[in-house]
Structure 1
Amino acid sequence: MPKKSERTRQRVVEAANRLFYHKGYNQTSFSDVVEAAGVPRGNIYYYFKTKDEILEAAIHYRTERISQMLENWSGSYRTPIQRLHRFLDILTNSADAIMRYGCPMGTLNTELGKDQGELQEQAENLFKVFESWLTDQFAELGYAGRAHELALRLMSQGQGISVMAHVHNDPGFLRREKERLAAWLDQLAEGKDECA
């Protein structure tokens, strides 16, 4: 069982992670994190001296959760096409959050990319975890020479769908576009290499 200090630190990171997604990094103050975590301000300074340090911890937390999720999928789904379809399910499983806040990885990277390049480089790792895993799935599916290209295509399509569904607040669009991507994956699995 984690020590009380580890649990307190984790509570701060989880609260900050939610706030950075819901409000944005730049719109979230240190005081917001203090209030959401329910931890005295002085205690937070024991773990984090700056908001940037909290963001770094939140990115690390997200990265670990994504890595664990992908590892679980690799163990739970027998074939690469099943795993790729599970990846697509993120869109519909997260539809409510996407409608309200957009994609958590995309919005953070876009926000930081405007004028906080060093922080954005850290946030980019969230995409790289998926990118690497998806590349492995496409390679196993038989597209080793183009696996990375296909991984980027799938991720970019998913990001575009998330943005447009968020902008138009249209879960129907999100579902339809997800099904279109699913059909493209099935074509690839059948050896019909057509563009999305």
Structure 2
Amino acid sequence: MANVIGYARVSTREQNPESQERELLAAGASRVFVDRGESSRVSERPQWVACLDYLRHGDTLVMRALDRIAGSEVMAIQTIAELHDRGVNIRSLTEPEIDTTTPMGRALFGIVAVFAQLRVDTIRDNTRRGLANARAQGRIGGRPSVMTERTAEALRMRSEGRSVAHIAKVLGVGASSVSRAIAKVSM
């Protein structure tokens, strides 16, 4: 049997979530999960995690406003999409357009999801083009090697018959870093 489950959150411990709880119960919530002193930008809020675990296919999650469950539009869209995939409906008491229990709410969510995917794809495409452009100019991204200044010393020790493990210990780096640096020079 499908349930209406409420979620309330206040940002500081001094705030009182009672008005949110009353609104959610009046909206038909059979159970209300409440986080106190938790930021909406943190996804691992104790009662939010418990709420997500409690929700089942066909249930409706109701909250006073979308900002109670997500601290950014990307996080909101991601959360709504994950709940949608699980068959959980979402309803906001103060934002009537956010109600996936209605045809209009589902359609609006579909449109929002398309634009969210477009945004992700555009960022990914721009990143690829930027990296390709940087490579064309001779710049290679990534973290600099810890061996940049030590390769000559590693080669000298290796020519003296020292093991890669010994060289790594002396230089204070990983053995794989030493091996890669030596292999690069040997090519």
Greater strand fraction, Structure 1 or Structure 2: 2
Greater share of helix residues, 1 or 2? 1
Q: Give the TM bin, normalised by the shorter chain.
A: under 0.3
Normalising by structure 2, we get a TM-score of: 0.26
Greater relative contact order (Cα 8 A, min sep 6): structure 1 or 2? 1
Choose 1 or 2 for highest CA Rg: 2
Scaled by the length of structure 1, the TM-score of the pair is 0.25
